[in-house]
A = this chain, B = another copy of it.
Amino acid sequence: MLTLHNYWSSVCSQKVRICLAEKGLAFENRHVNLFEFDHWRPEYLKMNPKAVVPALDHDGRIVVESNVILEYLEDCFPQVRLRPEDAYAKTQMRLWLFNSEEIAHENVNTCSYNPRHAARHRAKGHTSDDLKRMAAGCPNPVIRNRLLHRAAFGVTDAEENQAYEALDFLLDNMEQTLGRGPWLAGAEYSLADIAMAPFINRIEVLKRPEMVEAARRPNLAQWWQRIQARPAYQQALAVKNPDTSDPMQR
């Protein structure tokens, strides 16, 4: 029995849902409302003291961190193989799993909080003081300090520009990599493609489609078309927010 504790539009949750769909695995989709801070409650922290989604419950065993969950699903359910067998191809897969966290996640998060594009907290009526009060309740100091910084300064244009500069660097690297093979790990579609796909989607949600346009990055643009055409991707991204009071409904 698989239960995924996750949030509909969280990039790391999307990663895991794509993998589950590719493998044809049924799971219970448990909505963790990030904007009600469900992931900071004691019940959730027992599963993940780092206080982030997603968390996978597999017959009572809890697995956290999206990349770790992806490799775990591969270890347990290899019938649909999503990890190359060749040792060197595995390194390319794992490099992109890591890139998706180190560069894509960090910087897409910054861009997602720029007030021009991300009105979430404000749309909920949260003032800077509300944010500070909430931050005080956050058990993870890395996230707490980031929230406090944003409560005080927001995401500045300089910070957003640096984040896009980092993403551009990563996408240039991706363009080069995809020039050597149709997929990020080479010949085969793998967990690497699954790990990067939600970030490319988010870049489009953030209204920066020029970053993946064919004229600029043809290999990436073709890869992105192939990803979006996959039924597993469509199924995973079709999960919507059950909280209809949330103004962010796309």
Residues of A within 8 A of B (CB): 49-50, 61, 63-65, 67-69, 71-72, 75-76, 87-88, 90-91, 94-95, 98, 101-103, 140-142, 145, 162, 165-166, 168-169, 173, 176
- Distance in Å: Cβ of A76 to nearest Cβ of chain B: 5
Residue of B nearest to A90 (CB): B75
- Are B140 and A165 in contact, CB atoms less than 8 angstroms apart? no
User: Assuming the A-B contacts A162-B145, A169-B140, A169-B142, are A90 and B71 also in contact, with contact meaning beta carbons closer than 8 angstroms in the complex?
Assistant: yes
Bound: A162/B144 CA distance, A: 10
Chain A contact residues: helix, strand, loop or mixed = helix
> How close is A44's CB to chain B, nearest CB, in angstroms?
15
Give the top 4 A-B pairs by smallest Cβ distance, nearest first.
Answer: A75-B87, A141-B165, A68-B94, A63-B91
**Please, which residue of chain B has its CB at the minimum distance from the CB of A140?**
B169
A113–B102 Cα distance when bound, in Å, is 20
| Residue pair B95, A72 in contact (C-beta under 8 Å) | no
What B residues does A72 contact at CB under 8 A?
Answer: 87-88, 90-91
Beta-carbon contact of A98 and B65 below 8 Å: yes
Q: How far is the CB of A220 from chain B (nearest CB, A)?
A: 15
